Amino acid sequence: MAARAYWQGQIRLALVSIPVEIYSATKSGAQIAFHQVHEPSGKRIKYEKVVPGVGPIDVDEIVKGFEYEKGHYVLLEQDEIDAVKLESKKTLELTQFVDADEIDVLYYEKPYFVVPADDLAEEAFVVLREALRRSRKVGLGQLAMRGREYVVSLKPCGRGMVLETLRYADEVNKAQGYFRDIPDIEPDAELLGLAESLIEKKAGKFDPATFHDRYVDALKDLIERKKKQKSNRKIIEDKDDGADPRGSNVVDLMAALKKSLEKPGGGAVAKPAAKKAPARKPPAKPPAKKRA
C-alpha cells in the first residue's frame, strides 16, 4: 500500500488483540488559496510580529499564553505543553457496542480506513468485521493519537472497516436552542402527499461523482482568463437578472408542488400558479309577466 499509515497498533476485544493500520479516508479538496499582494509593486505582503509599545520582536521571544481574565495570561513553554500530551498506547480497546442510529450525525468528525497489519491478523480481523455486520452494532472506544485522546467508532466497510473519530459531548451545540421557535404544527395532508411524491420522483442512488464545487471551477476559469489577459483589467460578469430570489410575496405552495411534479424529473421549484379570472355569471332572466 503506497500511502503511509496514520496510526499502527492493535484493536483489543476482551482477550483478543488484532494488529491493524489505519489510513486517512478523506483528502482536502482542490481549494484555491489567495495571498495578499501589494498592487503597485506586485510583491507579496509579509507580516511582522509586533508588541504594542515595544515594536517588532524576535520569534524566539514568543511563548503561548492562556488568558484567564482580560489582559492576564498564564504563560506556558512548549515543552510544558508537550509533557501533557498523551502517549499513544498503540491499543484501541472496544469497551461498548451500540446501534449505529444511536449516534447522532453531529458527533461524527473524521473517517479512517482500517486494515489488518499482516497476514496473521486477517482471520481475527474478518471475524470482528462480520460480527459487527451481523449484529448491526458499532464498536466504541478511546484512542490516543498524536498527543490527543479521541472517542472513536468502528464499523464494517466492504472488506475492511472504518474508524471514525467522534466529537465529545461539550463540542456539540444543543439543537433545542436553535429549533425552539419553530412551531409544532401538523402539515396539511395533501401538501405532505405532494411533497412525498416529488421526493420519490427524484429518488436515486447516491453518486458523489455527480457533485462538484462549482465555485472552485469558476475561480479556476477566472484565473486562467486573467493569466491570458495582457492587462489586469477586472473581469466581472453580472449574472443578476434583477428578479427577487425569494419569488412572489405570496407563494401558492399547492400549485408550486403540483407544477414541480409535472416537470420532467421534477426540476426546479415552480413559480406560483396564475390566478384564474372569475367565471362570468349568466345574464339574469327577465321577470315573468303576471297573469291578469
In this prediction, residue 111 carries a pLDDT of 96
Whether 147 is covered by a domain: the verdict is yes
Q: Does residue 40 form part of some domain?
A: no
**CB neighbour list of residue 163: distance below 8 Å, 6 or more residues apart:** 22, 92, 111, 112, 113, 114, 143, 152, 153, 154
Q: CATH number of the domain that 128 lies in?
A: 2.40.290.10
Averaged over 96-122, what is the pLDDT? 94
Q: Say if 141 falls within a structural domain.
A: yes
At 268, is the pLDDT very low, low, confident or very high (cuts 50, 70, 90)?
very low
DSSP codes, the chain: --SPPSEEEEEEETTEEEEEEEEE------PPP---EETTTTEEP----EETTTEE--GGG--EEEEEETTEEEEE-HHHHHHHSBPP-SEEE--EEEEGGGS-GGGEEEEEEEEESSGGGHHHHHHHHHHHHHHTEEEEEEEEETBEEEEEEEEEETTEEEEEEE--GGGS--THHHHTTS---PPPHHHHHHHHHHHHHT-----GGG---HHHHHHHHHHHHHHH-SS----------S--TT--SS--HHHHHHHHHHSTTS-SPPPPPPPPPPPPPPPPPPPPPPP-
Specify the amino acid at residue 38.
H
Please report, as a single letter, which amino acid is at residue 44.
R
Is pLDDT above 50 for 269?
no
Considering the domain boundaries, does residue 37 fall inside one? no
Mean pLDDT of the chain: 82
Query: Sorting pLDDT into bands at 50, 70 and 90, what band is 276?
Result: very low
C-alpha cell at 84: 501533557
CA–centroid distance for 12 within its chain: 31
pLDDT number for residue 258:
82
**Residue 130 belongs to a domain:** yes
pLDDT (0 to 100) of residue 273: 42
Provide the residue count of the chain: 292
- Least confident segment among 87-91, 100-104, 170-174: 87-91
Tell whether 164 is covered by a domain: yes
Q: Model confidence over 210-255: pLDDT tens digits?
A: 887 788 888 888 888 888 887 777 777 666 555 555 555 445 888 8
- 192 assigned to some structural domain: no
State pLDDT tens for residues 23-55.
999 987 767 888 899 888 889 998 888 898 888
| pLDDT score, position 161 | 97
β-bridge mates for residue 93, sequence order:
12
By percentage, how much of the chain surpasses pLDDT 70?
Answer: 83
Domain count, the chain: 1
* Nearest C-alpha neighbor of 12 from the set 125, 87, 91: 91
In this predicted structure, what is the pLDDT of residue 112? 96
**Domain that includes residue 137, residue range:** 7-27+85-171
Q: Is residue 160 part of a domain?
A: yes
Residue 89 confidence (pLDDT): 76
pLDDT tops 90 at residue 125 = yes
Confidence category of residue 119, pLDDT binned at 50, 70, 90? very high
